[in-house]
Amino acid sequence: MRVQPKEGGKEDELILGVDTGNKMVKTDHFIFHSGIKVKEQRILNGEEGICYKGVNYIENSQRITYLQDKTADERYYILTLLGIAKELEREEGNVRTKGSIPITLLVGLPPGDYGRQKRRFQEYFYRQGKTVHFLYKNRPYQITYTDVKVYMQTYSAYLLIANRLRLVEYSKVLIIDIGGFTVDYLMVRYGVVQPTQIDSIPEGIITLYKRINAGIRQHFNLHLDETDIDNILFKRNTQYPEKVLRRTFEIAKDYLVELLGSFLVLGIDIRTTVTVFVGGGSILLTDLIEDVWVRYNSQYFIVDDPQANVKGFKKQYLAELADSAETRYGKE
């Protein structure tokens, strides 16, 4: 998305949102695994890889190890740069070919990390606004981050649907974001986030993968990788016998029942809230959520969009721009 220049600016800027999940990276138009590996040889023309500071990186379906602090090393910076490169290639012909491309970068952090890591995460990407040089598919690019905005994941996805579903009218709305390594949640009362009811549970969908793999191996001496499990839970055609499929769903249901039950321990009674499920894990478990929910007899919604957070980042940013313009013009 392009916007007009800020006051005093000379060029249109490109607004790019990147949601760096522990399992998948999401941009406006792309979703890819949170995995990269170093390649000793140079990136070939057209090869899905990036060269940054003389090091070649290629996409890898094997996700990187979990980092609670994503600024601990360069890996999430590289993954974000890769997402930006994909979007720039898609925008070819609409962005400048000489000099540096100005970008406003929109990123997010889990609710439980937002307060203490927001500033560090912003600095991690901004780096004094210095021009970033890299190669993507062996083609040179130059970008400059004119600004880096950090938003709260989960809440960003909530904002995407809040008006349409009139969620601000409810006294208690619980948003559950089932991600890769964590399940993030927050409570919203009449549109206002409750700071004492924001946290992350270390029981994301990767925990479920491990449970299913262990259970199937124990009972049937078979190994299921994550793609196999996804295919089964999405009810796609597979070569596995019915008993393996049935056991996979049983383990997944037990995981979901246990996860939802943990909220009562946290002082949140799902029977008295409107619950909104977001995130890739929620989409994966859509049918099971419907099956399990009969015991709660309350209203719930599933946001069937893995890029909901990215879209929510942009929604917030554009609202901030509009508010800023209204304030500026109101003073004139």
Please say whether the beta carbons of 209 and 195 come within 8 A. no
Domain boundaries, the chain: 2-152, 155-309
Instruction: State residue 188 phi and psi, 5-degree precision.
Output: -125, 130
Please say whether the beta carbons of 141 and 134 come within 8 A. yes
Same fold: 2-152 with 155-309:
yes
pTM for this prediction = 0.89
For residue 119, give the H/E element and its range: helix 111-126
Q: Which CATH superfamily is domain 155-309 in?
A: ATPase, nucleotide binding domain (3.30.420.40)
Task: Please list the pLDDT of the chain residue by residue as tens digits (332 residues).
Answer: 544 444 444 456 899 999 998 889 999 999 999 999 999 998 888 888 999 999 999 998 887 777 778 898 899 999 999 999 999 999 876 666 678 999 999 999 999 899 899 999 999 999 999 999 999 999 999 999 999 999 999 999 999 999 999 999 999 999 999 998 899 999 999 999 999 999 999 899 999 999 999 999 999 999 999 999 999 999 999 999 999 999 999 999 999 999 999 999 999 999 999 999 999 999 999 999 999 999 998 999 999 999 999 999 999 999 998 877 666 666 55
d(CA 161, CA 100): 35
Half-sphere exposure of 259 (CA within 13 A, CB side): 30
Residue 269, SS3 per DSSP: coil
What CATH number matches the domain at 2-152, 3.30.1490.190, 3.60.15.10, 3.30.420.40, 3.20.20.60?
3.30.420.40
